[in-house]
Amino acid sequence: MKPGDVVVIPAGVAHKRMESSPDFRVIGAYPGGRNWDLLRGLPGERPRADRNIAAVPLPDNDPIAGPGGPLKQIWKAQPS
């Protein structure tokens, strides 16, 4: 990462900030008023996780570049 970079993490992708420089910022947003859904990979969680991921709609627009931004073109929905 370098200054100005943006990472959009799709539903179902595990992530954790292990370390960062003092000027690094994380901004979380959940479109459409949704809340975070934390699962840790415990036995039995996978079916629920798969259902929850499949239920997340594609974003209406690119959260950085707006409606004409590239996110919707590069976002790939996985077959269920």
19-33, pLDDT tens digit by residue? Answer: 988 988 887 777 677
Cα gap 41→13, rounded to integer Å:
12
Q: Structure pTM? A: 0.60
pLDDT tens-digit map of 39-58 = 888 999 999 988 888 888 77
Classify the C-alpha dihedral 36-19-6-12 as positive or negative.
negative
pLDDT band, residue 34 (cuts 50/70/90): confident
pLDDT at 45: 92
